Amino acid sequence: MAIKQWMGLFLAGSSLASALPSSKVAARTTDAATEFVDDLVADLTAAYNDHQTRAPQCAQESTLVVDTGYAKYRGHYDSASALNHWKGIRYSQAPTGSLRWQPPRFPALAPSAPVTDADAFGSTCYQHTPSLGGGLAFPGAPGSEDCLFLNVVAPANATKLPVMVWIHGGGYGYGDGSSQDLTQLINDNGKTFIGVSFNYRLGAFGYLASQEVKNNGVVNAGHLDQALALAWVKLHICKFGGDPLKITIAGQSAGAGSVMHHALAVNGGLGSLLFDKGLAQSPYLPYQPNFNDAIPTSKYYAFSAAAGCPSSGSVFSCLVGKSAADLELASLSVTASSTQGAWGFWPVTDGVYIQNRPTAQLTAKMVNGNKLLVGYNAQEGQIFVPGPEVIETQADLLAWMALWFPNLTSAQLNSILAINPNSALSSASGPRFETDGLNTGGFNAINTSPAGVGQRQRGSNIYAEATFACPAYWLADAYSSNPGKSSWLYQFSVPFAYHGADINAAFGPSTPNLPSDITLAFRKAWGNFIVGGNPSIANTIANGASSASPSAYHPASNWPVWDQNAPQFVNFNTTGGTLALFENPLAGTFPQYEGPGIKNAISVQNANSWEAFRGDRCAFYKNLGPFMPN
Ligand SMILES: *[C@@H]1O[C@H](CO)[C@@H](O)[C@H](O)[C@H]1NC(C)=O
Ligand SMILES: *[C@@H]1O[C@H](CO)[C@@H](O)[C@H](O)[C@H]1NC(C)=O
Ligand SMILES: *[C@@H]1O[C@H](CO)[C@@H](O)[C@H](O)[C@H]1NC(C)=O
């Protein structure tokens, strides 16, 4: 299959070329996902062994022309960022026609291919917004089914630099490899690493699931695209000046959920074949059914009907025969009728790449890679939870929870309410402000935020913890007390820290609430982890240049490794500045503090007692894992 074909070239001149398993040319005997994974493992193992024995120099060519074996791409120096960029590199054959819902494949070798200018992003994958409620969702940027492209940004003359591969977020339904500009993160870290970003199949193209899809192709196709892109980096990044043994996979939201899944892939049996470090910002963990459970199956048939195919029985070949535009409209239609704030399709337990529920496998600590930096934001729930016009009473809250947690019984939903007690402090007219995490005066994230109080805030905290914050804790736990592995955790709290607010902190552009002291500290934490394997930041950076004593000792310079028995984390916050209202199209209008006068307020905190014992609630949600299921 295609990966192996490519490896022949990769290993040319190396004694390992002859070690490639010849069984790979045998006829298909297993399902497509199993074959894909077997090839991935065999070929990356060969590449790993090759790198161990041959120790390639990994120096970037001064011509910036990179030969992938199937195409030659010329990169360009960008004077604004003072970095070299390669955009729109194809990493897979187009997943169209008979390759729909099939594993991605490297392009066929073409030794005499002409040089192509890699100066424009490739087509984005078909995408759309989440459901906006009332049966509404809208298309995103114009997409194409032929969308499997990636981008590399590298310091000039890079030699054996560490690599960050960025997996964009967007609920597995939105976004592309150009959504975040990696250049500021690289430059604020002194041009010490290379960045890669890429597109993967979204919506029904990437995440359609049912027994019939599995029988005829693959479920979680979008995740296999990601795995192929990671394999591509492993095999090719040396030519851009990157070190294939120092790869951090990073992502936000669904991108961080993807980092979690690659950490869990193949039962944690991949070791460091795809990456050695993971960076997961707001890991998104919605319920995760088996590929052939009732919910994905009913979506499969709703999708089929919307595409003009039958609503039962064998529909796969009918779907493969439809136009891409028809399928995109069907994907949009299934998403539109989903719960407000949700997309229609997301990863499932597929039995091959993802073999278990995350809560079960993270507890068993069966994870790939050696190191993990994981974080979440103080106000993760706000953009997903409707306002008091929908959630006013406890009955309203329960009805809304039943939509987000469709497989929980009413007794289980009530048990969630019981661990999120709605005290007298949370009257709908109560004071609204950012809590400090320390339960000062009895105020905590269960009862108060700038966005809500009462039942609405209760729902917000439930959604934030069940879907983002606790998955971050569980991921950190999986690398704790696990030989050879370690993890670090942070909360991003700079007001107003809604879901996605950290994106500006990591990548820019700068906003009035994020002066350079705090963005530099945040970016250095990421960069120090990517480059040196430890997110601790220098005293001067943690205190900030505008602090009264920048070089005073700061505990973030000795950021505690996560210990699941006594977990501590770093809280990224600011203090000072002028109160101003900030309008977010998704979250509404909220207070934030704007410069000048903002200073860093970064601290080390106790993760168990935080926000009135978040640690206990995360343990509770983990026990609900079999029922969520997740
Ligand atoms: C990269 O190397 C070239 C020579 O190969 C040199 O002209 C150029 O100045 C170097 N660039 C940087 C940023 O060091
Ligand atoms: C949801 O719960 C029902 C029983 O209440 C069970 O039969 C079904 O398998 C569950 N679905 C998932 C995805 O776990
Ligand atoms: C973050 O800082 C703001 C002041 O800028 C404060 O009101 C809020 O309580 C802090 N939150 C956390 C979690 O540290």
* pLDDT tens, residue by residue, 271-307: 999 999 999 999 999 999 999 999 999 999 999 999 9
* pLDDT tens, residue by residue, 403-431: 999 999 999 999 999 999 976 666 667 78
Structure tokens at 100: 């729909």
Structure tokens at 135: 């049966």
Angle at 601 between CA 597 and CA 604, to 5 degrees: 175
175 pLDDT exceeds 50? yes
Residue 594, ligand 3, Cβ within 6 A? no
* pLDDT tens, residue by residue, 430-453: 788 999 999 999 999 999 998 888
Q: Which residues of 352-370 are buried (b: 16+ CB within 10 A; e: fewer)?
A: bbbbbbbbbbbbebbbbbb
Bridge partners (DSSP) listed for residue 247: 163
Give the Cα separation of 95 and 370 in Å (integer): 32
* pLDDT tens, residue by residue, 507-565: 999 999 999 999 999 999 999 999 999 999 999 999 999 999 999 999 999 999 999 99
Give the Cα separation of 621 and 470 in Å (integer): 8
Q: Is 410 a catalytic residue?
A: no
pLDDT score for 408:
96
* pLDDT tens, residue by residue, 246-263: 999 999 999 999 999 999
Give the Cα separation of 172 and 469 in Å (integer): 19
Average pLDDT rounded to a whole number, residues 36-43: 94
DSSP state of 348: -
Residue 434, ligand 3, Cβ within 6 A? yes
* Residue 391 and residue 592 in contact, taking contact as beta carbons nearer than 8 Å: no
373 pLDDT exceeds 70? yes
* Residue 426 and residue 447 in contact, taking contact as beta carbons nearer than 8 Å: yes
* Residue 599 and residue 427 in contact, taking contact as beta carbons nearer than 8 Å: no
Determine how many CB atoms are found less than 10 A away from the CB of residue 537.
Answer: 26
Judged on CB neighbours under 10 Å (0-12, 13-18, 19+), 429 is: exposed
Atom number, ligand 3, closest to the C-alpha of residue 433:
7
120 Cβ neighbours under 8 A, 6+ residues apart: 87, 88
pLDDT score for 29:
57
* Residue 130 and residue 217 in contact, taking contact as beta carbons nearer than 8 Å: no
Give the Cα separation of 431 and 448 in Å (integer): 7
Give the Cα separation of 234 and 237 in Å (integer): 6
Most confident of 23-37, 414-428, 573-587: 573-587
Pocket residues for ligand 1 (CB within 6 Å)?
62, 156-157
Distances 500 to 90, 346, 375, 585 between C-alpha atoms, Å: 28, 19, 12, 12
Give the Cα separation of 550 and 545 in Å (integer): 6
Residue 574, ligand 3, Cβ within 6 A? yes
What angle do helix axes 394-404 and 454-464 make, rounded to 10 degrees?
20
CA of 206 to the centre of ligand 1 (A): 41
Give the Cα separation of 355 and 383 in Å (integer): 31
CA of 62 to the centre of ligand 1 (A): 8
* Residue 544 and residue 599 in contact, taking contact as beta carbons nearer than 8 Å: yes
CA of 508 to the centre of ligand 1 (A): 27
pLDDT score for 432:
87
Query: Ligand 2 pocket: which of 299, 407, 624, 630 to mutate (most atoms <8 Å of CB)?
Result: 407
Structure tokens at 437: 């995490």
Atom number, ligand 1, closest to the C-alpha of residue 156:
13
Atom 13 of ligand 2, nearest CA residue? 289
Residue 296, ligand 2, Cβ within 6 A? no
Picking from 341, 342, 424, 418, the residue whose alpha carbon sits closest to that of residue 387 is 341
Atom number, ligand 3, closest to the C-alpha of residue 436:
9
**Nearest ligand for residue 83 CA:** 1
Distance from the Cα of residue 286 to its chain's centroid:
13
Distances 537 to 166, 189, 278, 518 between C-alpha atoms, Å: 22, 11, 18, 12
Average pLDDT rounded to a whole number, residues 559-575: 98
pLDDT score for 424:
61
Give the Cα separation of 95 and 107 in Å (integer): 11
Structure tokens at 9: 């070239």
Atom 13 of ligand 3, nearest CA residue? 436
Provide the whole-model pTM: 0.95
Secondary structure (3-state) at 185: helix
Backbone φ, ψ for residue 309 (5° rounding): -105, 175
pLDDT score for 423:
65
* pLDDT tens, residue by residue, 112-124: 999 999 999 999 9
Give the Cα separation of 143 and 324 in Å (integer): 10
Judged on CB neighbours under 10 Å (0-12, 13-18, 19+), 270 is: buried
Give the Cα separation of 272 and 367 in Å (integer): 10
* pLDDT tens, residue by residue, 587-624: 678 899 998 999 999 999 999 999 999 999 999 999 99
Secondary structure (3-state) at 136: coil
Catalytically annotated residue among 92, 253, 258, 426: 253
Give the Cα separation of 152 and 165 in Å (integer): 9
Q: Which amino acid is at 136?
A: L
- Give the DSSP letter string of 237-252: GGGGTEEEEEEEEEEE
Picking from 419, 217, 226, the residue whose alpha carbon sits closest to that of residue 320 is 217
| Alpha-carbon torsion angle 502, 508, 510, 513, nearest 10 | 0
Picking from 277, 317, 330, 279, the residue whose alpha carbon sits closest to that of residue 502 is 279
Which of 336-340, 369-373, 516-520 is least confident? 336-340
**Distance separating the N- and C-terminal Cα atoms of the chain:** 33
Atom number, ligand 2, closest to the C-alpha of residue 409:
5
DSSP state of 302: H
Give the Cα separation of 232 and 228 in Å (integer): 6
CA of 196 to the centre of ligand 1 (A): 22
Rg (CA), the chain: 24
10 pLDDT exceeds 60? no
Please report which helix (H) or strand (E) contains residue 234, including its range. Answer: helix 221-236
Give the Cα separation of 376 and 503 in Å (integer): 11
Secondary structure (3-state) at 193: coil
CA of 190 to the centre of ligand 3 (A): 30
Structure tokens at 402: 């039943």
Atom number, ligand 2, closest to the C-alpha of residue 629:
14
Give the Cα separation of 124 and 335 in Å (integer): 19
Distances 323 to 96, 173, 207, 329, 585 between C-alpha atoms, Å: 10, 19, 18, 10, 33
8 pLDDT exceeds 80? no
pLDDT score for 427:
67
CA of 290 to the centre of ligand 2 (A): 10
Greatest extent of the chain over all pairs of C-alpha atoms, in Å? 74
Report the mean per-residue pLDDT for the chain.
93
pLDDT score for 16:
29
4 pLDDT exceeds 50? no
Structure tokens at 134: 């009332």
Residue 598, ligand 3, Cβ within 6 A? no
* Residue 383 and residue 587 in contact, taking contact as beta carbons nearer than 8 Å: yes
86 pLDDT exceeds 90? yes
CA of 297 to the centre of ligand 2 (A): 13
3-state secondary structure 359-427: HHHHHCCCCCCCEEEEEEECECCCCCCCCCCCCCCHHHHHHHHHHHCCCCCHHHHHHHHHCCCCCHHHC
